């Protein structure tokens, strides 16, 4: 405490303070005169050595101050996945167009909705806060993983004439796993309520690159099998993304803007979408 007092005295002398204010701000310290010395100037107090009763406090940091750039490591999403199938089955009456077989009215590429999932791992997230309170730009880098669980024996193969086709096999489990290296960018706004709760909304786009695709199948006759390849899937993924925040609870949703498959060899039009919960600092 003596060192602090000496620092205050030295600062007053260096500043040559003559003001009659009752409180001085020196660095992170607040120096307050006692009531009985309010009529004395700071110079008179120093010259007389009358330091008894001086109150020294530290300035409180503003709790609402937010860094312009915030960084978060490792957030994740978990939700359900499906796709919009825009294939014109009625216009394609052969086995190869589309490549999943005949009769078309029965064997569409239907998914098991309750078992088709989307899990995303965001390795790095950053948030740029604009000068306008609540407005921000958020960008991330990580992995999007889709698990499409099929109702029918749809096969994905890399080295056959048909990359995607309907099998006559019977599978206990049949799913396509796709993994993308993805970078979403979102514009958003958070609004703080009177009870200090926060609600907010953000939206933007995701650009992804196909990292890996696997067709995993389990049958009684063949056991567990895995087939790897790109299966004539589109390398780049472009999707829209939105996020709704209700205080600490966050919901996300994505919708593909491009066909998951390369139309030229497959004649299929599949547009994945997903929705679920987000677990992240911001």
The better pLDDT of the pair 116, 89 is held by 116
44 belongs to a structural domain: yes
For residue 64, being part of any structural domain is answered with: no
Same domain, 155 and 44: no
Neighbours of 58 (CB within 10 A): 10
Quick one: pLDDT at residue 63? 43
On whether residue 20 sits in a domain, the answer given is yes
Cβ count within 10 A of residue 227 = 16
Regarding whether 177 and 157 lie in a shared domain, the answer is yes
Residues 115 and 53 in one domain: no
Give the pTM.
0.74
Note whether residue 198 is domain-resident: yes
- For residues 220 and 270, state if they share a domain: yes
pLDDT band at 174 (very low <50, low <70, confident <90, very high): very high
In this structure, is residue 177 part of a structural domain? yes
Give all strands (DSSP E) within the chain, no chain letters: 23-26, 29-32, 55-58, 69-85, 117-129, 135-149, 154-156, 164-166, 173-192, 198-219, 223-228, 236-246, 249-256, 270-279
Number of folded domains that form the chain? 2
Pairing of strands 164-166, 154-156: antiparallel
Domain boundary among 58, 77, 104: 58
For 185-204, how does the pLDDT look when each residue is reduced to its tens digit (9 = 90+)?
Answer: 999 999 988 888 899 999 99
Residue 63 lies in a domain: no
Domain assignment of residue 231, yes or no:
yes
Residues 158 and 246 in one domain: yes
Residue 144 domain-assigned (yes or no): yes
In terms of domains, do 239 and 110 share one? yes
Residues 97 and 117 in one domain: yes
Residues 49 and 170 grouped into a single domain: no
Q: Are 268 and 188 contained in the same domain?
A: yes
The residue out of 13, 38, 58 marking a domain boundary is 58
Is there a single domain that holds both residue 42 and residue 79? no
Indicate whether 31 and 169 sit together in one domain. Answer: no
| Domain ranges, residue 189 | 69-279
Kindly state whether residues 180 and 260 are assigned to the same domain.
Answer: yes
pLDDT in tens, 41-94: 666 666 666 666 666 666 655 444 568 899 999 999 999 999 998 877 666 554
Last residue of a domain, one of 36, 58, 80: 58
Tens digit of each residue's pLDDT (9 = 90 or more) over 215-254: 999 998 889 999 999 888 999 999 999 999 999 899 999 9
- Residue 18 CA, chain-centre distance (Å), reads 55
What's the helix, strand, coil split of the chain in %, to 5? Answer: 10, 50, 35
């Amino acid at each position: 405490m003596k060192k602090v007092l000496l620092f205050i005295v030295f600062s007053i002398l260096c500043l040559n303070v003559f003001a009659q204010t009752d409180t001085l701000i020196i660095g992170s310290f607040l120096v307050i005169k006692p009531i009985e010395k309010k009529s004395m100037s700071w110079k008179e107090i120093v010259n007389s050595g009358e330091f008894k009763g001086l109150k020294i406090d530290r300035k409180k940091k503003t709790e609402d101050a937010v860094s312009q750039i915030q960084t978060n490591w490792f957030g994740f999403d978990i939700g359900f996945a499906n796709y919009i199938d825009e294939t014109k089955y009625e216009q394609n009456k052969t086995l190869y167009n589309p490549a999943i077989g005949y009769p078309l009215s029965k064997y569409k590429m239907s998914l098991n909705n309750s078992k088709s999932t989307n899990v995303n791992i965001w390795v790095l997230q950053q948030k740029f806060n604009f000068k306008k309170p609540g407005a921000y730009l958020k960008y991330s880098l990580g992995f999007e993983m889709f698990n499409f669980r099929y109702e029918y024996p749809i096969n994905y193969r890399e080295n056959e004439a048909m990359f995607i086709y309907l099998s006559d096999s019977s599978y206990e489990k049949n799913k396509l796993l796709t993994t993308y290296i993805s970078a979403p960018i979102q514009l958003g706004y958070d609004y703080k309520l009177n009870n200090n709760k926060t609600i907010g909304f953000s939206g933007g786009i995701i650009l992804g690159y196909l990292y890996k695709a696997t067709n995993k199948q389990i049958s009684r006759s063949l056991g567990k099998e895995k087939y790897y390849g790109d299966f004539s899937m589109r390398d780049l993924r472009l999707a829209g993304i939105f996020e709704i925040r209700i205080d600490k609870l966050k919901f996300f949703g994505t919708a593909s803007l491009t066909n998951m498959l390369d139309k030229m060899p497959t004649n299929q039009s599949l547009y994945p979408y997903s929705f679920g919960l987000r677990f992240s600092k911001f």
